[in-house]
Amino acid sequence: GAVVSQHPSRVICKSGTSVKIECRSLDFQATTMFWYRQFPKQSLMLMATSNEGSKATYEQGVEKDKFLINHASLTLSTLTVTSAHPEDSSFYICSVGEGAYTEAFFGQGTRLTVV
């Protein structure tokens, strides 16, 4: 199966600053990657679909100007949380897959804490 690496695994930033999270597909060329967010005791919620070479597609209620996604290559997608606020503190996870009816491969997640 695909190996997905996220970096950093943990980050603490000050309110108002921006944070970039990287998601790398180490052995799988991913034209599509998904970004999820998980608050404590809550389910993973899809934030956006990252498309290689084109604009990301955001879920309803997710601000595209706040959560910038760049998918410049088949192995790397980045999520930048701009002007972070404490309410953005969450667990961010990316995933790749080969399509419907197949398993999804997830990164190890990034724990973002905004202080």
Partner 1 sequence: SQKIEQNSEALNIQEGKTATLTCNYTNYSPAYLQWYRQDPGRGPVFLLLIRENEKEKRKERLKVTFDTTLKQSLFHITASQPADSATYLCALPNSNSGYALNFGKGTSLLVTP
Q: Is 61 in the site for partner 1 (CB under 8 A)?
A: no
Q: Which structure tokens are listed for 89?
A: 């503190």
Q: Is the dihedral of CA 1, 56, 38, 12 positive or negative?
A: positive
Q: Is 69 in the site for partner 1 (CB under 8 A)?
A: no
Which among 14-22, 61-69, 78-86, 87-95 is the span making contact with partner 1, rule CB under 8 A? 87-95
46 lies in the site for partner 1, by CB under 8 A: yes
Q: Are 91 and 62 in contact (CB under 8 A)?
A: no
Q: Is 49 in the site for partner 1 (CB under 8 A)?
A: yes
Q: Is the peptide bond before 86 cis (omega within 30 degrees of 0)?
A: no
**Tokens for 71?**
């998918």
Binding-site ranges for partner 1 (CB under 8 A): 1, 4, 6, 32, 34, 41-46, 49, 57, 59, 91, 93, 95, 97, 99-109, 111
